[in-house]
Each structure stands twice: as structure tokens, then as C-alpha cells.
Amino acid sequence: MSGPPTPLDEQAAIWLCERDEGFAPGRAEAFAAWCAADPRHAAAVRQIERTMAVLEMMPTVRRPLEARFGPLDSTPATTAAPAATFAHRPPPSALRSPSPRRAAPLALAAAVVLGLCGWWYYTAQMAGRDHFVNDTEVSQQIALRDGSTVHLDARSAVRVDFSGRNRRVRLEAGQAHFEVAHDAVHPFIATAAGVAVRAIGTAFTVRLAPTAVEVLVEEGRVEVAPETPPPASAPAAPLPQLGAGERARVARADATARPEIEKVAPPELRGALAWHRRTVVLSDVPLAELIARFNRRNAIQLTLADDELRERRLGGVLVLDQVEAFVALLERGGDIAAERRGPEEIVLRRAR
């Protein structure tokens, strides 16, 4: 059972409330610094976010809590959020707490929900199974026990089974985007209508279209194969693999058919990924990887012209569809300069 909210819970809730309403200038950087200052801070933020996700899936619990505490919503604003904040430490005055006008209700409601649902999480972990149904008109984010994240589209459903050697998630309806935590010992297998997508650490979308299962890879590589293996007597063929920016379609009428694989142009890829949240929290990520993430999401492409910057490690809160603000934050550090070459390319190099 969970007890009353701690001061750390309340501080995390304060930050989430401020993020929801839109950070004022400099506040997003302060939030990133607060998260990076102590692992417990980022953990408290994740706990509140996950609890709010549970509330979304349990309207019978959410309604009476909102009647008592007011609206409970920690979803970040999509129009006011900054593109990126990095884990450099701002002056102490920037780390002052924002107004707690909504934080106490949010943190207290989170504690209540965790107390009510503690047994549910316990039994789900013991059984290794979860069932998530999103019957709303907006997407939902689900944090799995292995550290992976599922973005579940509207009118979609997945069933999770981590009871065996493999991590298995079955898409029962709609569409889901998977951000898979790396684990070479326990492969992540997403199935839909007889099609299995195998990954270790990657990001990809599976969609149940009317006549086909569609798999779109954002990062890494995946294997696509029938969920039921062919007979041992059948000749073995290499499993089709997809890389970033590729899509496979398998006819639902014959899950054993070889997938049709095609390259997806960057604008189409961005459009196909636009339905789920753009905000990510990253820690100690190479600049080259951050640039690759932004390039997959934006028409404006970033080019890294200085190899010595490739392994520069950064972390913080990023909104992946606001590339100009991301570049402005890089320039603010003073050692990276940006050169704009036309409307769709920005070259980054060390400042001279």
C-alpha cells in the first residue's frame, strides 16, 4: 500500500502541473536540472505520470477523485512546451519551486490511487500479464515493467505477457507504438493477427489495418515473421528484417505470406508518427543520436559537421517536433554554432 504523498512527490507534482500549463522562459531548463540532480527526482516524476496513466484507464476511480481534488491531468501542453532542456545546472534562483496550487491534489490523488491499486499491480506482476484497452479518443502512454513504453492509439487494445522467457505484447485492436527497453536475453515480441515482430531494443509501430498488418520502424531493426513457425520440413528462409524508415505489410488473409517491404520518405514517416506524444526524457545520450531523432521527426534536417561533437553527451526533456528551439538551446551553450543552409537544413559545428 502507498502512504501519504512525500515532499518529493509534491515537488514532482508541482513540476508536472507547471509543465502542463506551459513552462515560462527558463523553467524547462530548471525542471531538467532538478530531474538530473538526483535519480529519486526523475523516479518521482515517472511515478506520478504512471499513476495518472492508471487513472485514465480506471474512470470509476478517477471520477470521485476529481470530484474531491479537482481536475487531475499531468499531460504536458503540446503548444507551449519547449523543444529541449539540458541537464546543465542553472543558477540557484532558477530552481525555486513553482506555485503548488495544483500539486498537492495531484500528489495526494496519486497516493490514493497507488493505495487502491497496490494489490492490482502485485497480482499482475505475479501472473506476468496485463490487459490495456484504450476506448477514448486520444492516445495513452503505458509504462511496462521492463522499462519499455507502449503508446496506445485511440480505440486500441494490447495484452502483455511477461510470464515466459520472451516479453510478449499482442495488439488486439487499433495501433500501438513500442519503445523497447534493450534486453538481449529476453526478446520483445509484438504480435497482431498472426504476424510476429521481434525486437531487442528499438522503436516501431504496429497497426491492424482492415486488410493487412503494418509494421513501421522508427529506430533500430526488427524481424517480421509468422507467429506460428512453419513445419520443420519446410525449407528455412532468412527472416525479413526492417530498419529505420521502412514499412512492412502482411496480408491478414495469409500471415505466412512474405511481407511487402518499402522505404518510407521522411515526410510520410513524420506524419505516421505524429499521433503519439512528442515529449521524451533522455539522459546521457550522444548528440549524434539526438540529431537522428530530430531528423526523423522534422522537415528541417540537422547536419553534424564536426565529428568531435558526435559523442557529446546530453540529457533532458525534449519535444521532438520543435527543432528550431532545440538548435537555439545548443547555441546557448556557447560552444556549438549553427549555420542555416536554406529553409530545410541546419549545420552544427563547434563554435570558433
Is residue 130 a part of any domain in this protein?
A: no
Most confident residue range from 279-283, 319-323, 335-339:
335-339
Specify the pLDDT at position 271: 77
Residues 20 and 49 in one domain: yes
> Is 44 part of a structural domain of the chain?
yes
Domain contains 135: no
| Residue 113 grid cell | 490511487
Indicate whether 107 and 176 sit together in one domain.
no
> What does the pLDDT average to over 75-96?
40
Which of the two residues, 92 and 152, has the higher pLDDT score?
152
Of 94, 123, 152, which residue constitutes the final position of a domain? 123
Q: What is the mean pLDDT of residues 113-124?
A: 41
Assess whether pLDDT exceeds 80 at residue 99.
no
Please, which pLDDT band fits residue 96 given cuts at 50, 70 and 90?
A: very low
Question: Do 68 and 30 belong to one domain?
Answer: yes
Range from 77-86, 131-140, 284-293 carrying the lowest mean pLDDT: 77-86
Question: Given this model, what pLDDT does residue 143 score?
Answer: 81
Per-residue pLDDT of 127-182, as tens digits, reads 455 899 988 776 787 888 888 889 888 889 999 998 888 899 999 999 999 999 88
Whether residues 21 and 106 fall in one domain? yes
- The pLDDT, as a whole number, for residue 18 is 75
Q: Region 74-81: what's the mean pLDDT? A: 40
Say yes or no: 179 and 209 in one domain. Answer: yes
Residues 251 and 157 in one domain: yes
Domain harbouring 163, CATH code: 2.60.120.1440
Q: Flag whether pLDDT at 194 surpasses 60.
A: yes
Q: Output the pLDDT for position 121.
A: 37
CATH at residue 330:
3.55.50.30
For the cut 70, the answer to whether the pLDDT of residue 100 exceeds it is no
Is 129 a member of any domain? Answer: no
Q: Is 314's pLDDT higher than 90?
A: no
pLDDT (0 to 100) of residue 21: 67
Together in a domain, 93 and 215 = no
Last residue of one domain, picked from the residues 272, 291, 310: 272
**The pLDDT of residue 118:** 39
**Pick the residue with more confidence: 303 or 84?**
303
Confidence bin at 52 (pLDDT 50/70/90): low
Alpha-carbon span 264 to 268, nearest angstrom: 6
Q: Looking at the structure, tell me whether residues 11 and 92 fall in a common domain.
A: yes
Identify whether 263 is part of a domain: yes
In terms of domains, do 147 and 246 share one? yes
Average pLDDT over residues 208-212: 93
Higher pLDDT, 281 or 299: 299
Domain boundary (88, 123, 158) is at: 123
What is the domain extent for residue 211?
140-272
Work out the average pLDDT over 310-337: 82
Backbone angles phi, psi at 203, to 5 degrees: -140, 130
Q: Which residues pair with 314 in a beta bridge?
A: 285
pLDDT classification of 264: cutoffs 50, 70, 90: very high
Residues 212 and 292 in one domain: no
What does pLDDT average to over the chain? 76
Same domain for 294 and 267, yes or no, is no
Question: Do residues 200 and 231 both lie within one domain?
Answer: yes
What's the pLDDT score for residue 349?
Answer: 92
Specify the number of domains making up the chain.
3
Of the chain, the percentage scoring pLDDT greater than 90 comes to 26
In a domain, 342, yes or no: yes
- On whether residue 128 sits in a domain, the answer given is no
Give the strand order in the sheet containing 203-208. Answer: 140-143, 149-152, 175-179, 203-208, 212-219, 246-251, 260-263
